């Protein structure tokens, strides 16, 4: 499972939100150091606070229509530098499934790729 807190600060917009994604993956051990895996998951984005210079502040109740459901498919790898230290990479394609805001606009699309890179210490 993956969850990320989000804070956005632009010239005319501030917002807080949360992304929760549940993944399934099937790892293939290529050698002692490298593991490759396909993965797929369902992601859910929700906003808790939104303020911009053009309108009033919105809190969770006013932002429920901006919640978004995604299908995320792709693959990843883990490269072990040592028994405890590893490099992680995921390349995912996000397929927008539903949000009330997007349902009002035919041309609105949030499909697209995403790349995650990281280093982790395994206890």
* CATH number of 15's domain: 2.40.160.20
> Mean pLDDT over residues 10-21, rounded?
69
Count of beta carbons in the 10 Å neighbourhood of residue 99 = 17
What is d(CA 42, CA 52) in angstroms, rounded to the nearest whole number? Answer: 29
> Is residue 38 within 8 Å of residue 75, measured between CB atoms?
yes
The pLDDT value recorded for residue 81 is: 95
Model confidence at 107, in pLDDT bands (50, 70, 90)?
Answer: low
23 Cβ partners below 8 Å, 6+ apart? 1, 2, 39, 40, 41, 72
The pLDDT value recorded for residue 7 is: 40
Report which DSSP code applies to 64. G
The total number of structural domains that make up the chain: 1
Model confidence at 97, in pLDDT bands (50, 70, 90)?
Answer: confident
**Tens digits of residue pLDDT in 32-80:** 999 999 999 998 887 766 666 665 555 545 555 667 788 999 999 999 9
What is d(CA 89, CA 114) in angstroms, rounded to the nearest whole number? Answer: 11
> Is residue 98 within 8 Å of residue 67, measured between CB atoms?
no
- Its domain, for residue 8, covers 2-121
Position with higher pLDDT, 6 vs 106:
106
Q: What is the mean pLDDT of the chain?
A: 77
């Amino acid at each position: 499972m993956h969850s990320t807190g989000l804070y956005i600060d632009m010239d005319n917009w501030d917002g807080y939100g949360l992304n929760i994604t549940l993944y399934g993956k099937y790892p293939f051990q290529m050698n002692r150091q490298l593991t490759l895996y396909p993965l797929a998951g369902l992601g859910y984005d929700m906003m808790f606070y939104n303020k911009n210079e053009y309108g009033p502040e919105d809190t969770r109740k006013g932002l429920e229509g901006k919640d978004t459901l995604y299908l995320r498919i792709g693959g990843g790898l883990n490269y072990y530098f040592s028994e405890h230290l590893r490099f992680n990479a995921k390349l995912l394609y996000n397929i927008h499934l539903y949000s009330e805001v997007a349902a009002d606009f035919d041309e609105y699309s949030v499909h697209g790729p995403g790349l995650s890179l990281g280093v982790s210490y395994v206890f």
